Structure 1
Amino acid sequence: MTTAAPETVTTADPAPRRRISARVRILLWLLVVMAVALTAVAATTRSILLRDVDHRITRLLAQEASEFANFEEQGFDPETGRRFTEPDRLLRVFLERQYADADEELIGLVRRAGREPAKLVQPREIPTERPLRSDAAARRAIFASKEPTGTLRRPAGEIRWAKVDVARHGGSPHGDGPDAAFVVAFHPERERDKADQVFRILLAISGVALLMTTGIGWAVAGRILKPVRVVRTAAAQLTEQDLTRRIPVQGRDDIAALADTFNGMLDRLERAFAAQRDFVDDAGHELRTPITIVRGHLELMGDDPAEREETVRLVTDELDRMSRIVEDLLLLAKAERPDFVTPEPVQLAELTADVFVKARTLGERRWELGEVADREIQVDPQRITQAMVQLAQNAVQHTTHGQTIRIGSRAAGRSIELYVADSGPGVQPQDAQVIFERFRRGTARRGTRTTGAGLGLSIVRAIAEGHRGRVRLHDTEGGGATFVLEIENTEKNTTKNEKSTAKITEKNGAGS
């Protein structure tokens, strides 16, 4: 019995979501906002127009009813010169003297015994599908209504009406309704159609405005976002080998500021990549030399014990040098971190004295403790000591037995300066700008061989910059070089510290 191999079900990768550009999103939002706003304006305008129509019809009905009521009370029959006694005569005379609006009907209704109310109307055309004078059922409903005004809704069209009952003049006092009534009716369809027509016109104008806004918004959004597209294109074309592209900056708006900021970032990236390439090249060169030496000695090492001992000594020396280079490189890499220095309140006098005590063990020189500033400063004492000892080591390498090296500190306005001055050959002007770079050494060297990799002064500069300061170089009076570590001090000056002064005096006496 054989079993079928299980089928392998493969599912296609989901299609990547299509991105909508910022230009389209801006345009869509603009159109949505404008469409809502224009629709709201059109709807509000229609509502206002319809309200005005209703108010005008109400005023017209009230005015016509009031005029008839006044005529009934104060009018005289032109044939007899007396007050009206017959309702139909009253209604006929009043209707002959009135001029109704186009959509308005003035009708007189007179009750006849056992029959429909007789109607008295003005002989003119009414621009409606079915006027009230042709609708007996509507007339009966209005004549029988006990309300003075109302709205009659019918399939042929709505009617707004007002009614004035004619007072009884000799009629039966036991009748169940008025003997006659004056009715004014208004057909609001045409007035409302005018409001609807204005609404449709506004919608058409809004549509045209949206089309114009679409074209204008598309062009304006494209012009505004053009630098953004240039930034995106430039970012997509950037490689480690080509960081030379820049974005043209036009105008002074936020987009121009973005382009300017992007160009500044590219400048920093270009410098960083260049420095990284130089650093890697120099580090590779410095590490390649001891590796070559170690490999050569190991390949040539023979069986002679003395030769083996010498080879081991040389190999160990080169490995120690490689270890120092790696440690210096790690220290410089750490200098980019925010926790490279941890400042704390330190007495400058004590710090200067401690540096002097540690530095004078570096070599047989004439060590001198110069001026000492007595104030409290905010620095990382370990890093400052490391930098000063490195400067002292550099001074030892450039001086000989018996020459003077002076260490001190002083206040310079709001800054403090710690310095190391030697009486060696000094630094050539062409070297002053490069000796603080990594793996760079000056050309003015004595015949004595130094084992440094050119990272010491780079470490000093990194420590100074970590304290938001700098390191300066100038000539020493009488010959030599003076390295100054300048750091801005934000702490207030302190009073004389007797303990620090006594300690400095004791260490200075022991050093001399």
Structure 2
Amino acid sequence: MTARTTTPETTPTTTRTTGATTPAATTGEEATGRFRLSARLRILLWLLVVMAVALATVVLTTRSILLRDAEERVDQLLAQESSEFANFVEHGRDPGTGRPFTEPRGLLTVFLERQYPEPAEELLGYIRESPRPRVIRQPRDIASRLPLYQDGAALERISEDPASTGTLRRDTGVVRWAKVRIDYGPDRPAAVFIVASHDDPAGDSAENAVRILVVISGVALLMSCAVGWAVAGRILAPVRLVRATAAQLTEQDLTRRIPIRGRDDISALAETFNAMLDRLERAFAAQRDFVDDAGHELRTPITIVRGHLELMSVEEGPAAAAERRETLRLVTDELDRMSRIVEDLLLLATAERPDFVRAAPVQLAELTADVFVKARALGDRRWELPEVAEHEVAVDAQRVTQAVVQLAQNAVQHTGPGQTVRIGSRLVAGDVELYVADTGPGVAPRDAEVIFERFRRGTSRRGGERGGAGLGLSIVRAIARGHHGRVEHRPTPGGGATFVLVLPVQQSQHVQHVQRLQESE
């Protein structure tokens, strides 16, 4: 058999320009006919929502903490002033007499003169005298639109309230108050000391802090949107590049690849996409080679058949009968070869199906003996069975027999009558090996890498021997892979070639276990 180099036939391609857009231009909203948010915008919207919720939570929590602290501070202030006045009532002395106070007016006047309250704090005394109550206060301005000493009705409600502390809500604001009753006997008028804390008319400090925080949060949200837009664009740049590259790919051009930068998930996506493109490119190349090779192989017998049929149709006379018989023989032979090529192609096409191999437990010794008996009918050779492995394996006996017989057929084609061809099986390092060894010319080094490919033949065939289509070893490799194994070429000691079908025993035992489970069900 001679080596053949197949050059794919090229046909001129005419490109017709129309008004249609390119594939890359029709992958967006125009192709789908509906509005579609980009991933960059969706990321920005999610970031905006998350940031807004987070900042709102921070603002509300801060406001709650500040208001609580302010209330605690007012409570402490009221309690402190009340405690100081109660202590003054018990231990205070009239500066004029040096003796304890005997009436509320002097007590309240002396105490209030010695106090320095907060701007929004009001200290005063309320004495219920006739004909009208008396109010004793400090001579200073109160940070309130309506000080308590000007609101007689409010003072009356506070003085009559049985509680010692409370809250007074007015149109001008809220007043937190505390009071201490003064009792010098029934002959003295009833009096109370009142400490009041007004709302700050210029704005409560807590509310001011919250307003400032809201403004800062708004600025931070806008800055986050700008930064998020830029970062999302930078992160999604490889994704857009993947999309653009995919849109530019065609069946004729699968050479584009995505540059890989960094070591993140996006770079991993680019690596995966490039690996997918590598597989697609190899698959399309293999498909084109397969179509070219199959066309070349099938074209030859078709040409031969057509030529002989044309000769047979024009020849007449007595001598034409013998030539017609010879023509029919040649035509039949070529049609048989075409049929074998088609059957081999169909077999290779089904090799990718999950049911290509149907494993079942078989005895390896019986399988080897059956293959040996079938192979002896292939040619006048010195057939030998040097070793047989005694082991039960789970394989597809029909496929394995087909593979080994094909290897034996190759051995016959590369040897002459009387030459030795050995068939055997053995267990090696946990694998089952079925081998066919011949004493022919062997495989040339330049052919060792290509002989298992479709429509590829070696160069070391016996002269005059007609070769096949170059699918035999491809079928053997497909059967080996269907068993999760492999086929190997090894040189034969003393000259020749040895082809070994290696099947893993572990896989065979697993398949056998599954087969038994299926049978039990």
TM-score by length of 1: 0.87
Alpha-carbon separation, structure 2, partners of 1:188 and 1:332: 91
CA contact (8 A) 1:371 1:409 kept: yes
Cα distance, 1:113 vs. partner? 2.1
CA contact (8 A) 2:176 2:197 kept: yes
Alpha-carbon separation, structure 2, partners of 1:429 and 1:110: 123
Larger mean CA deviation between 119-128 and 238-247 belongs to: 238-247
The answer to whether the aligner puts 1:105 opposite 2:125 as a matched pair is: no
The residue that corresponds to 2:280 in the other structure is 269
Distance 1:257 1:241, change over 3 A: same
The residue that corresponds to 2:211 in the other structure is 200
Cα distance, 1:288 vs. partner? 1.6
Cα distance, 1:403 vs. partner? 1.9
| Counterpart residue identity of residue 351, structure 1 | L
The residue that corresponds to 1:86 in the other structure is 103
Alpha-carbon separation, structure 2, partners of 1:343 and 1:103: 95
The residue that corresponds to 2:500 in the other structure is 484
Cα distance, 1:310 vs. partner? 4.3
Distance 1:198 1:344, change over 3 A: farther
CA contact (8 A) 1:321 1:451 kept: no
Larger mean CA deviation between 229-238 and 421-430 belongs to: 421-430
The residue that corresponds to 1:9 in the other structure is none
Larger mean CA deviation between 394-403 and 384-393 belongs to: 394-403
The answer to whether the aligner puts 1:20 opposite 2:37 as a matched pair is: yes
CA contact (8 A) 1:111 1:118 kept: yes
Alpha-carbon separation, structure 2, partners of 1:291 and 1:141: 120
Whose RCO is larger (CA < 8 A, sep 6+)? 2
Distance 1:370 1:45, change over 3 A: same
- Counterpart secondary structure, 1:361: helix
Q: Percent identity?
A: 68
Cα distance, 1:285 vs. partner? 1.1
Q: 2:423 aligns with which of 402, 407, 414?
A: 407
CA contact (8 A) 1:349 1:373 kept: yes
The answer to whether the aligner puts 1:64 opposite 2:81 as a matched pair is: yes
Q: 1:293 aligns with which of 277, 301, 304?
A: 304
Deviations 1:231-282 (A, max 9, x none): 1111111111111111111221111111111111111111111111000100
- Counterpart secondary structure, 1:189: coil
Alpha-carbon separation, structure 2, partners of 1:180 and 1:14: 87
The answer to whether the aligner puts 1:239 opposite 2:250 as a matched pair is: yes
Alpha-carbon separation, structure 1, partners of 2:161 and 2:48: 53
The residue that corresponds to 2:91 in the other structure is 74
Alpha-carbon separation, structure 2, partners of 1:248 and 1:445: 47
Larger mean CA deviation between 316-325 and 40-49 belongs to: 316-325
Q: For structure 1, which runs of at least 5 residues remain unmatched after alignment?
A: 1-12, 173-177, 494-512
Larger mean CA deviation between 66-75 and 310-319 belongs to: 310-319
| Counterpart residue identity of residue 169, structure 1 | G
Larger mean CA deviation between 216-225 and 292-301 belongs to: 292-301
| Counterpart residue identity of residue 99, structure 2 | R
Alpha-carbon separation, structure 2, partners of 1:34 and 1:214: 9
- Counterpart secondary structure, 2:173: coil
The residue that corresponds to 2:355 in the other structure is 339
The answer to whether the aligner puts 1:363 opposite 2:374 as a matched pair is: no
Q: 2:46 aligns with which of 11, 24, 29?
A: 29
Deviations 1:136-165 (A, max 9, x none): 221222122222111111111111111112
Deviations 1:80-106 (A, max 9, x none): 222222111221111112111111001
Deviations 1:475-505 (A, max 9, x none): 3233322111122322799xxxxxxxxxxxx
| Counterpart residue identity of residue 97, structure 1 | R
| Counterpart residue identity of residue 304, structure 2 | I
Cα distance, 1:308 vs. partner? 4.9
The residue that corresponds to 1:502 in the other structure is none
Alpha-carbon separation, structure 2, partners of 1:379 and 1:255: 43
Distance 1:385 1:98, change over 3 A: same
The residue that corresponds to 1:136 in the other structure is 152
Cα distance, 1:406 vs. partner? 0.8
The residue that corresponds to 2:240 in the other structure is 229
Deviations 1:182-214 (A, max 9, x none): 111110335962111111111121122222222
CA contact (8 A) 2:364 2:392 kept: yes
The residue that corresponds to 2:4 in the other structure is none
Cα distance, 1:57 vs. partner? 0.7
The answer to whether the aligner puts 1:439 opposite 2:458 as a matched pair is: no
Alignment of 1:346-425 (within 5 A): 346-425=362-441
| Counterpart residue identity of residue 385, structure 2 | L
Cα distance, 1:15 vs. partner? 7.5
CA contact (8 A) 2:52 2:221 kept: yes
The residue that corresponds to 1:183 in the other structure is 194
Distance 1:270 1:492, change over 3 A: closer
Alpha-carbon separation, structure 2, partners of 1:252 and 1:213: 25
- Counterpart secondary structure, 1:106: strand
CA contact (8 A) 2:103 2:184 kept: no
- Counterpart secondary structure, 1:107: strand
The answer to whether the aligner puts 1:95 opposite 2:112 as a matched pair is: yes
CA contact (8 A) 2:484 2:507 kept: no
TM-score by length of 2: 0.86
Aligned residues: 475
Alpha-carbon separation, structure 2, partners of 1:14 and 1:310: 63
Deviations 1:386-421 (A, max 9, x none): 110100111122222222211011222122321101
Alpha-carbon separation, structure 2, partners of 1:477 and 1:219: 69
Deviations 1:312-359 (A, max 9, x none): 443333222222111111111122223322334433222211211221
Q: 2:291 aligns with which of 276, 280, 283?
A: 280
CA contact (8 A) 2:414 2:460 kept: no
